[in-house]
Amino acid sequence: MIIARIFEVKYAPSQEGLKKACREALAQMDAGKYGEELEEGYSQVLCYGVAFYKKHCLVWQKEYGPASRRS
């Protein structure tokens, strides 16, 4: 199993804004179809939305593509 990992990093304006920044990072990857080119060459494509505020960090993960829609 070969896994691709894609990261989008955002800076949050406050510690309370970390969740919103992670959500925006994942939405940007969806809108830009960042993982589309990788779907054929990898068994799994994982997207990571990373948000920073000073020394605080939050990371959310989402699987990209048809594999994420399997039941």
User: Does residue 71 fall inside a structural domain?
Assistant: no
32-59 tens-digit pLDDT: 999 888 888 898 999 999 999 999 999 9
Q: What is the mean pLDDT of the chain?
A: 90
- From 17, 12, 23, 68, select the one nearest 44 (Cα to Cα): 68
Q: Which residue range forms the structural domain that includes residue 30?
A: 3-66
Measured between alpha carbons, how far is residue 34 from residues 21, 54, 55 in Å? 17, 27, 27
For residue 46, list its beta bridge partners.
Answer: 5, 63
The DSSP symbol for 43 reads S
pLDDT of residue 66: 55
User: Does residue 10 fall inside a structural domain?
Assistant: yes
Domain count, the chain: 1
User: Does residue 55 fall inside a structural domain?
Assistant: yes
pLDDT of residue 40: 85
